[in-house]
Chain A
Amino acid sequence: MSKGGNRNLSLIIAVIAIGLIYSIRLFYLQVIDTSYVEFANANSKKILTIHPNRGLIYDRHNKLIAFNDNFYDLSISYPFSLKNFDTIGFCNILNISKENFIERLKKAEKTVYKGSATFYKNLEYYKYAALQERMYEFGKFYIEIKTDRMYKTNSGAHVLGYIGEISKKQLEKQNEDGYYSKGDFIGLAGLEKYYEKDLRGIKGEEVILVDSRGRQQGSYLKGKFDKTPVSGKKVTTTLDLMLQEYASKLMQNKAGSVVAIEPSTGEILTLVSSPAYKPEALTIRNKKLNYGKLLNDPTLPLYNRAVTAAYPPGSVFKLLNGLIGLEEEVIYPETTFPCYRGYSIANLHVNCHPHPQNLDLRGAVANSCNAYFCNTFKEIIENPKYKNTRDAYIHWRNFMLQFGLDNKLGSDINFESEGNIPTPEFYDKMHNNRWGFTRIISLSIGQGEILITPLQMANVISAIANRGYYYTPHCIKKIDDKNAIPVKFKTKHKINIKKEHFEVVVEGMKQTLINGTAARTGIEGIEICGKTGTVQNPHGKNHAVFMCFAPKDNPKIAIACIVENAGYGATWAAPIATLMIEKYLKRDTVSSKPEMEERILKAYLLKTPKSKDSVEKKNELEREEINNQKTDTSKRKTTKTNFKNVALITEKLALNKNERKKNN
């Protein structure tokens, strides 16, 4: 028995030993090794993202511009085990064939991301409703609610921009805060892009349980760990929707831009680039259909001329030369220069149109006398105050820079161009270090190598309206009902020209609309100050330019308008600007100049190529021009203003400039 007793004891010890081993093992699994908790979470918990509503966009009078619209994507979670799946019923609801079903499944399998893939994009509402009822049967599938943009207006697409699915590149490079994941929407252009961080909101989360077959099994701990999404901030723009739409209408069937700014604040009231497209053309759902078309349209509707295209300003530039002349004390308000149907120096002759003689500065502005401003510019450039012409030019150029030229203004509209005010080095190189007034005489009347964007033009007129300062033009008025707009839009940029000099020029501008170049375009009851411009253009008719502000005292609106290949500034650009002023200041009233309004509305000034051939010919021509520039920059006479290569040229000039800066 004692042997049996020992063996009995050894068996009991064996039982206890196993118990002990298992206890230790369990202690290790359950208490020490925490990796199993993570495994369990990865296993069974799925975090569903709830996308917040994108912030709404309003105009300055709190009129809704952009809002949200839901649409439905049908997604499937991976792995796609579809045992006992009612394929026929499912296909019937979606109205697709079984082959299509399999095809879609295969396609989805290739695009699985974070455990799921889109199976059917942009589900029709009735299919969504039918599916929703039977969703529990189709466990592997789920409906993702996505939000698209919708617009209350057909205007302003260039300012508003558009949203779209985030690209792979953006996911890698623009995701410092890790906010985005594949398939998310992001502002890709315009204000949607610039104020993306305000508009996007904060994503919410719903923690749900998923069983071993990937079926959703309700929320985890009754939503204890869920996060409610926070809607994007309300963005109030400075746009005046009524004016914006009116300007779009006036600009229809014309190529060009109008930019209207409230001078006292730098707020952009209207920004139109024409030809344009409707904002709704590039919503998430419509983009696929329209983007290619718009991209290949020869009238370039996607191109935002208002900030990207740069033109020689033409006569409107005379205002600046006049102001600089006064400030440099090379002329006085009463100074007169003779006009012999133009201005002659050496073997050069600059033509002038017929106008009264013995004009002082005010009269010269009103009548846009070329001779007067050639003389003025000569005085500026040959000012004995400076040691040489080059030095005087540098000082003149510095004034131009103070007006925000030759630089991006830094507004919140994307794709701004710098424009160009040539550096002295540029002329050194061009003229072999031997240049003087005669070489740059065209700058006196706004022709030549200078380039200014419509936005810069509007900013210049805004600065003149303010008599010597400006705020960086911007489209943002309020973010979420707080006036917290970026500081740079609240910083005053002062121009070192005395206020009284501005008053003289402004007086001339006032006369422009009374008895000057734009005498017939004035609006009764409003003191408008303006300046016409007609820009020579080797590719066809002249560009019509007009800039103005009103009222003369305490200005409320400043406008720059350019209509490509239209003809005289007074004929085409001035009416558009003055009609807009009337609309803005008198609000909603019928125009006092219905014939003028009708003439503008009916005008068709688009230079649309008739056939494919002509498009190709045009492209060829442009290519040639660009090549010419490459080979010999000095041969360039007039800057090309054809809209397509304007950007290219600006870019090229900027490049040259940078190079020069480096060399220096």
Chain B
Amino acid sequence: MQTINIVMANFLTTWFDKLKETFLTDDNYKLLLTGLKNTLIITIGALAIGVVIGTLVAVLKYFSDGVPSLSPVSFICDVYTTVIRGIPVVVLLLIFFFGILSSMNGIAVAIITFGINSGAYMAEIIRGGINAVDKGQMEAGRSLGMSKLQAMRKIVFPQALRYILPAIGNEFIALLKETSVAGYVAIIDLTRGGNLIRNNTFDQYNPLAAVAIAYLVMVIGLTQIFKLIERRLSKSEKR
């Protein structure tokens, strides 16, 4: 018993010293903080862009379906979702960073790229949510004299939200983790921050463990938040 305690204590002291060395030399921990900040900025920015693009594409698609004169709109929406979903986001990021948007600041490029990427998935999520609402709801709205847009805004979309929100929660989490490839274009995100510390200190474990734990904690936190929102939503709907 005694020996085990001593071994434990020794191990902890050594580990603690190692942590100090790894994270405090040259203010290495600041790399993690900068990384975390950038990861959050990119994720939230991309999410905002994704929601806007996704809603727009889904609604455009809804209104152009079955209207011959709007078939080009529908076609463009289809091309967007198909192309974007068919290309790995890293490739997209490289194309934007070194090509199309090469004059722009890296984080801005990342926000735009991840936003455009996630918009394609959001569009499908939102379209699915809209389609899950009973057709009779739109008809009831129209029969009262609402325009298609009015009925969409007041009647269909609020009901679609209950299908959409949980999926958007998942997309948010996926996005957060996906941004870990931002390091490919020289952005210091959480992952690259950790990796830089590993490089600087030759500590192969602790920096990456810290990164992993940071992601895990954020994902668990987000999951809880979305659960709470969902519960609120279903309560207020009383269905």
> Is chain B found bound to chain A in the same assembly?
no
Binding site for B on A (CB under 8 A): none
Binding site for A on B (CB under 8 A): none
